Each structure stands twice: as C-alpha cells, then as structure tokens.
Amino acid sequence: MKKIKIATDWLEACAGCHMSLLDIDERLVELLKHVEFSSSPITDLKHPPKDGVDVGILTGAIGNSHQVEAAKLMRERAKTLVAIGDCAVFGGICTMRNFFDTKDVLRRGYVESESTVDGKVPESEDLGELLDKALPVNQVVEVDVYLPGCPPSADAIYFVLSELVAGRRPVLAGEVLKYD
C-alpha cells in the first residue's frame, strides 16, 4: 500500500500540539508503516515539498506575515489541510493580544517584560510583520478538518491520522472532541 505523505508546520504556537503528536508514542511506529512525514519544524525539510502532500497539518494561529505565507504554502501543496489545536482552530491564547495595539504588544514583549534588561523591539526585513490581530487558520486559508484542544490529546491526533490513512474524513465526536 502506498504511504500517505504528511507535512506539518507550526505558526504562532507553543510546541504543545506537536509534542502531543509525538505523545502517540509506540503507535507512531505502526503509523509510520502507512505514513511518510515529509516536512516538519523538527526535520531538515521545513516546508511541504513542491510535488505536494496528501495531508498538511498546521498548529498555531496566524500572527505575522511569514505565517500567512506558510499557511498559504501548506494549503497550496496539501490535498487535505488539518488545523490542530485551539490556536489553529479558534486563534486560542494568541488572540489575547488582539485587544491591544501591535506597538504596545511588541513593547510589552521585548522591552517591558520582567526578565528583560535594555530590551528593544527587533527590526529586520527577515522578520515577519506582526498582523493587527492573531487569526485562526481558516481566516486565511480553507481548512478541511478541525481538531480543537489545548493541546488535543495524543489519542485524538492518532484518531485523526488513522482515519486519514484509511482514506476517510475524520468525524470528531465524544472524547476526541474536546474544548479546553
């Protein structure tokens, strides 16, 4: 049986959702018989390959211009796009900054934080520009499957991946559908 290709990326996120993916533990070994992870934040290849993937997974909200591009690239190259975690699905904790001006947000983060001495807001063309608001993924690109949770459990992620491997669109209900 041909393996399905999966690419993952994280946007404005902590690593929690990807850690939950790794928490699938030994079931990963079984999954890897059917799945090839082509790119991820923890592999050499960071972006989905040009010839595309079957499943693209995004975690995190979209908070800057680089993340807009990363989400669009994933959408363009993935047949099925899965948003994993509250940040990707709803904007999650990232949206707490949406009540404030971006200049104040940057100053608070880089200059005024309690652990910072002589901080300054970084300026570089290499850095993405902060959007006015952090957005859930579906406000930038179309999403096919939503898995909420902060983070979703490893069981829920395993369920979604297993369904996709079986060629089915996952239908989330009961224990795997958790808002927290």
Binding footprint of ligand SF4 on the chain (CB under 6 A): 13-14, 16-17, 59-60, 85-87, 92-93, 150-151
Q: Which is nearer to ligand SF4, 4 or 89 (CB)?
A: 89
Q: Considering beta carbons, is residue 4 or 161 the nearer one to ligand SF4?
A: 161
Of the pair 6, 58, the CB lying nearest ligand SF4 is at 58
Least CB distance from residue 23 to ligand SF4, whole Å?
Answer: 12
Q: How far apart are CA 33 and CA 2, in angstroms?
A: 10
Which residue, among 162, 176, 172, 154, has the nearest Cα to 55 in the 3D structure? Answer: 162
> Pick from 80, 84, 35: which is nearest to 54 by CA?
80
Task: Supply the minimum distance, in Å, between the C-beta of residue 92 and ligand SF4.
Answer: 5
Closest distance to ligand SF4 from the beta carbon of 84 (Å):
7
23 C-beta neighbours (distance < 10 Å), count: 15
Tokens encoding 44: 């050499």
Taking the complex as a whole, the smallest distance from the CB of residue 148 to ligand SF4 amounts, in Å, to 8
CB closer to ligand SF4 out of 19 and 111 = 19
Position with the least CB separation from ligand SF4: 16
- Do 60 and 17 touch, CB atoms closer than 8 A? yes
Looking at beta carbons only, is 87 or 140 nearer to ligand SF4? 87
Residue 133, amino acid: K
Q: Minimum distance from CB of 47 to ligand SF4 (Å)?
A: 19
Q: How far apart are CA 73 and CA 85, in angstroms?
A: 19
DSSP strands (E only) in the chain:
4-10, 35-39, 53-59, 62-64, 78-84, 130-135, 145-147
